[in-house]
Amino acid sequence: MSTPASLPRLNRQALSALHEHVLSPQAAWREPGIGIVHLGIGNFHRAHQALYTEEAMLAEGGDWGICGVTLQGDVAKRDALMEQQGLYSVVERGPDGAKVTVVRALREVLAMPHDSDALFARLADPAVRIVSLTVTEKGYYRDAKTGDVALDDPAVQHDLSHPHAPRTVPGILVAALRARRDAAIKPFTVLSCDNLAHNGAALRQVVCSFARQSDTALADWIAAEVAFPSTMVDRIVPATTDAEHASAAAALGYRDAVPVPCEPFRQWVIEDHFPAGRPAWHAVGAQLVDDVTPYELAKLRMLNGTHSTLAYLSMLGGFATIDEAIAEPAVRNLIHAMMTHEIAPTLDMPASFDVAVYRDALLERYANPALKHRCAQIAMDGSQKIPPRLLGTIAARIAANQPFARLALAVAAWMTFLRGHADDGSRYDISDPLAGRLKTLAASANGEPQR
């Protein structure tokens, strides 16, 4: 079999040669104009929103091509995607094998701060009607206590003193919205797709509080004129490994330098508030609702809360992947009981929502042996993830005067994880915006010298 390196690179001229098994009907595809700017062109966006958007355009057309932006200056990723004219493949891995699909919706990739002029030209284009985001919890620069922008963060300070050369999400959005207001161009809708409770409202508060530092009138205009609908997004999307390169090459007969692995399951629940229009996501399986709250709490608490629990217990106990951990009966029983007796009772779901079915489906998704979702990946950024995933649930249990021993065990596992080594003594890195402070606290709590 040809190795990926010996094959020609995936490119748009090759699309007509690709088989219909790997490409939705090419005949139905019309190259769209760019209507969406997405901040955070990571694996999750490429395996989730971009796929929904491509299918929505196939279903009902529209110029909803995507300009993807890496805010971390990842020029290698930008160049790798642009060398393929934005094309890449999604490798769905289920117990029954892999399904490879080429995605065409990504039309341009920019890397900040190198491509700042191009980004702001794109954000000023009236054809851009949605700016969506997957920048992870730490990308919001939120003050954990107030929900406003974290004014003491050096990156926020930079953007406040360099309003025309911003690098943070609040700085970029405020600069772009100011330019549209000043040019009397209708604002774009801001669509958060991150794992935060009330993610749209949370982002709106950060953006308005950032704007208010320098221009109250602009902050008031954003608050009155800009839509920030909330969403719940769900698909397990691990980091790319060599296996995806091999699967894509075998399926396509071309080399894809940036394939994305994911599970077969996907879900997207979106508050339907798009004054400037949106793709036909409703036609391809997304749920458009008035209030996403019940869905987002169920997902954040039942999936993300138990994901983090599994990750920290596994980092200490030596399980490398989620499927390895959940295969251990004691671990599976703990997670099953945590969802059943401590998390599910805090949810206020529609009558049609069967929490036992949701729970059992999650356990099956975790057991997927083909995905190899690394616990170390999920264990990252605990200081940003623990509050929305576990502390909110604990607060609800306390308010209801109900026990929460398993949830407390999860938080204790995170605190123990911060010591930097597993029970067998093997060491690992702590990847977290607050790593320095946390490791010092953990060392003093454990009476250990900090390394």
Q: Would you state the structure tokens that stand for residue 334, as one six-digit string?
A: 């703990």
Binding flag, residue 287, ligand CS2 (CB under 6 A): no
Rounded to whole angstroms, the Cα distance separating 180 from 197 reads 28
Binding flag, residue 236, ligand CS2 (CB under 6 A): yes
Q: Would you state the structure tokens that stand for residue 285, as one six-digit string?
A: 């399986």
Phi, psi torsion values for 439, nearest 5 degrees: -65, -35
Contact segment (CB under 6 A) with ligand CS2 among 67-75, 299-307, 332-340, 442-450 equals: 299-307
User: Residues 47, 50, 87, 378: which binds ligand CS2 (CB under 6 A)?
Assistant: 378
Q: What is the CA radius of gyration of the chain?
A: 22
Q: Which residue is nearest to ligand CS2 (CB)?
A: 307
User: Residues 116, 293, 377, 446: which binds ligand CS2 (CB under 6 A)?
Assistant: 377
Binding flag, residue 240, ligand CS2 (CB under 6 A): no
Residue 92 CB, nearest approach to ligand CS2 (Å): 14
> Between 58 and 298, whose beta carbon lies closer to ligand CS2?
298
Binding flag, residue 365, ligand CS2 (CB under 6 A): no
Short-list 306, 339, 379, 45, CA closest to 194: 45
> Between 54 and 234, whose beta carbon lies closer to ligand CS2?
234
Rounded to whole angstroms, the Cα distance separating 246 from 98 reads 11
Residue 106 CB, nearest approach to ligand CS2 (Å): 20
Binding flag, residue 241, ligand CS2 (CB under 6 A): no
Rounded to whole angstroms, the Cα distance separating 93 from 174 reads 39
Window 412-431: residues binding ligand CS2 (CB under 6 A): none
> Between 131 and 262, whose beta carbon lies closer to ligand CS2?
262
| Residue with the two structure tokens 């809708």 | 189
Q: Starting from the edge strand earliest in sequence, which strands make up the sheet with 34-39, in order?
A: 106-111, 65-70, 34-39, 130-133, 189-192
Q: How far is CA 284 from CA 91, 99, 188, 287, 331, in A?
A: 19, 18, 23, 9, 36
> Between 24 and 377, whose beta carbon lies closer to ligand CS2?
377
Window 179-218: residues binding ligand CS2 (CB under 6 A): 195
Contact segment (CB under 6 A) with ligand CS2 among 19-27, 229-237, 246-254, 335-343 equals: 229-237
Residue 309 CB, nearest approach to ligand CS2 (Å): 10
Binding flag, residue 307, ligand CS2 (CB under 6 A): yes
Rounded to whole angstroms, the Cα distance separating 35 from 173 reads 16
> Between 18 and 292, whose beta carbon lies closer to ligand CS2?
292
Q: Starting from the edge strand earliest in sequence, which strands make up the sheet with 88-94, in order?
A: 97-103, 88-94, 260-262
Q: How far is CA 285 from CA 51, 98, 187, 281, 282, in A?
A: 11, 21, 27, 7, 6
> Between 60 and 323, whose beta carbon lies closer to ligand CS2?
323
Strands 97-103, 88-94: pairing is antiparallel
> Between 4 and 261, whose beta carbon lies closer to ligand CS2?
261
Residue 222 CB, nearest approach to ligand CS2 (Å): 28
Instruction: List residues near ligand CS2 by CB under 6 A.
Output: 195, 234-236, 303-304, 307, 377-378, 385
